[in-house]
Amino acid sequence: MKIKVCGMVEDKNILSVSNLRIDYIGFIFYGRSPRYAGDDLSKSITDRIPEGIKKVGVFVNEEFETIKELVKGYQLDFVQLHGQETPDFCEKISNLGIRVIKAFHVDDKFMWNMLAPYANVVRYFLFDTKTDKAGGSGKKFDWQLLKKYTLDVPFFLSGGIALEDADKLLQLDHPMLRAIDINSRFEISPGNKDAALIEKFIEAIKGKEDIEPEDTSLIF
């Protein structure tokens, strides 16, 4: 199972987290977020993120040209759309050659059939907890609701996920679950991630990193 760390802001913290076994790293380009990356995000820092970690830009009802400019400026691999973006808008982004993650906020009244028009224009869905404001809530929704999802588009799971949820996540049995999105429950302060705590989560989800044993045999 893959892991995405979202809401990165500080240079040293970005580099520290990038040294962990994560698969995606997210930067929020939404001015009302306490984790807004803004103009202070250094390209010299994002350029140092290992190639194996995909860079994700998170946007909320942003203008197409602004997204296009930031994708180019930071060489983003994915665009995550967290607003009321239409399938046509997602397709327009996708036509740039950028993979799209479309986020939806889930509760027991969520209309799962509304996802179908997006199925051919996004790479992934992201399911987060229903909230009255844009972005995350730091709370979990009832994961049993995922049984209602039947499309063949893989998805990320988000919403208040913490270290203590690792066992339950490993027990989730959904063929389209591809990645876990973590954020506020792994922070020292908004945008400042606790790398040691994230490492514990990675070990719980992926297991400890395999290290080749030293060859102590004698060569004659």
Is residue 59 within 8 A of residue 67, CB to CB? The reply is yes
Tokens representing residue 191 in the block: 């945008």
168: enclosing H helix or E strand: helix 166-171
Helix-, strand-, coil-residue percentages of the chain, each rounded to 5: 30, 20, 45
Three-state SS at 166:
helix
CB 157 within 8 A of CB 181: yes
3-state secondary structure at position 189? strand
Residues facing 182 on adjacent strands: 5
Tally Cβ neighbours within 10 Å of residue 66: 11
* Residues acting as catalytic residues: 6, 128
